Each structure stands twice: as structure tokens, then as C-alpha cells.
Amino acid sequence: MKTPLTIKGAELLREELARLKTVDRPNVIAAIAEARSHGDLSENAEYDAAKERQGFIEGRIKELEGKLANAQIIDPAALDADGRCVFGATVELEDQDSGEQVTYQIVGDDEADVKLGKISVNSPIARALIGKYSGDIATVQAPGGAREYEILDVRYE
């Protein structure tokens, strides 16, 4: 199954993968060699820590390679969704109770960061928004009960 990713999200994963392969992996190999030179490995905490870090790095490399291999990269600017909320869209909302306005971009799980205004396509808010248009009301089932948001604007940027 393909996993949706924005162009920016795929770029960030590629950058992390490159850093892991060209910086972190060589550093941990050097740390293991250094720790080995200290003698008895059975009581060598530096060696154990470096081997553990190496396991984490190799696992993360495999994970990133898998995600990128299974990615369906979507360019929000190239979408022609006729004003509909879709993956990659930036949506401006108004909370119907408080009048507070927020703007979110609907992205993949790996890209989601609420502080940056990026919500996962699998989040309750995104699921309530998908398929709706500007002017529609989206009802979100939140832990504190249902909340309603009016969709003020949908952009593809």
C-alpha cells in the first residue's frame, strides 16, 4: 500500500536518510572502533552504548528506505480538487463555539506537527475535513465532545 507524502515531507525524509548514512553511521562505526581499543568488551559501557546506537541508526535507515520506497509523493500545488479538502490541502477553519481561526495542512503521519500547522491525514480533524468544501461545516469528534468548524478557505500550495 502506498503512503501519501507531500514533496516537502519526502525531502525531509531523504535529508534524514542521507545524514544517517553519511554522518551518523560513520561516527558510530568510529565510536565502536574506539571503544574496542579499550580492551575487555564484557565490561565496556562505551562499546555497549555505541552498538546500541548503531542498531538504532541501522533500524532507522531501513525504516526510512521502506517509507520512501512505498511513498506516493503528492505536490499540493499540482492538485486540481476544485476547492475540496484533500491530502496536501491547506485548510483555514473557524471554531464555531469560540470563533478562533486556525490553519492546517493535511499531511502524512511522518510529516504531522501541530505546532507547524501540519495535521495527519489520519487525525480526527483531517478525517472530518476530507471531501468537504469551503463554506461547509465539519464536525470533529474530540475527547471533550463534538466540535464544529466552518471551512473558510481551501488552498493547494
Residues 146 and 81 reside in one and the same domain: yes
Residues 81 and 66 reside in one and the same domain: no
Give alpha helix (H) positions in 2-152: 7-19, 25-36, 45-69, 124-129
- Whichever domain contains 57, its CATH number is 1.10.287.180
Q: What is the pTM of this model?
A: 0.79
Residues 86 and 147 reside in one and the same domain: yes
- Report how far residue 18's alpha carbon sits from residue 9's, in angstroms, rounded to the nearest whole number: 14
pLDDT, tens digit (0-9, with 9 covering 90-100), for 81-111:
888 999 999 999 999 989 999 999 999 988 9
Amino acid at 128: A
Confidence band, pLDDT 50/70/90 cuts, at residue 39: confident
- Whichever domain contains 83, its CATH number is 3.10.50.30
